[in-house]
Structure 1
Amino acid sequence: MPLHEPSPYEVLGIPLSAGVREINLAVGPAMRAGRFTRQQIQEAAALLRNPDRRLEADLQQPLPPEPVDQVAGLLAPALAEPLLVIDRPPLPSAAELLVLHGGELAADFAEPVPAGVDPEPAVPARFAADLSVLPQIEIPE
């Protein structure tokens, strides 16, 4: 089963600019080629002979891409350098990974904090707020 429905132009083997005369002349060779069924060939010819249906089919059918010669030459400047460079830090050693994993396991299997106890750790005294963090102000008398 084909991945897409062939266009009537593919069925008859004619260009997009073909007129009614070329359409009529293409039916016989398309039948002899045997690539498509008789019904597909007749439907394609009938569709292309009707100007309204042909315009509708042309608007629904995307145009084939234009061939580009020397694509490699056009893309060479862009492909000369890697497209994406990611600087990754080096992986830790196996011993460091085991220590990290051991710490995670200890945290996973630690006793839960009892209810009613503040789960936040206490702030050390050297980081506690005092008057030294306030700006100097003059108090009027």
Structure 2
Amino acid sequence: MPLHEPSPYEVLGVPPTAGVREINLAVGPAMRAARYTRQQIQDAAALLRNPDKRLESDLQQPLPPEPVDQAVGLLAPVLADPLLVVDRPQLPPAASFLAVHRAELAADFAEPAPAGADPEPPVPARFAADLSVLPQIEVPE
């Protein structure tokens, strides 16, 4: 499916300066090329033969973009600077990552005990208090 509706000039393969004679002669080759349907070709030829509709169509068609010959010169200041460079921090060594297994998470997401059975929920063994959680203290001599 085309992105835009083809102009009648594209359908017939004639320049915008084509006269009625050129338009009539272009219908046959356009039909044989079969790039467009028969109805599209006939509509394009009828539109271009009618001076009022042709002028209206010409005014509605967007102008083609003008070529930029100095594109390299215009973009030179932008291309001189490097593109955005993001400094990514180094990844820590694999040994420093903590691996949590599903069995360890089971205690965290276990259903609580019924009310009244135990006033405080049990603390999983991996969260039990020991000396590893205390900060190191330098003892003066």
- What is the TM-score with the length of structure 2 in the denominator? 0.53
Q: Which runs of 5+ in 2 are unaligned?
A: 82-86, 90-141
C-alpha distance 66-22 of structure 1, shift in aligned 2 (>3 A) = farther
2:17 paired with 1:17: yes
RMSD: 2.8
1:59-79 CA-partner distances (Å, limit 9, x unpaired):
0011223445xx3xx133332
Q: Which runs of 5+ in 1 are unaligned?
A: 86-90, 94-141
SS in 2 for 1:80: helix
Q: Name the residue aligned to 2:3.
A: 3
Distance 1:67 1:18 in 2: 23
Q: Name the residue aligned to 1:39.
A: 39
Distance 1:2 1:25 in 2: 26
1:76-108 CA-partner distances (Å, limit 9, x unpaired):
33322237x7xxxxx9x9xxxxxxxxxxxxxxx
Q: Name the residue aligned to 2:51.
A: 51
In the TM superposition, 1:117-132 aligns within 5 A as none
2:73 paired with 1:77: yes
Runs of 4+ in 1 over 3 A off after TM superposition: none
Give the deviation of 1:14 after TM superposition: 0.2
Q: How many residue pairs get matched?
A: 87
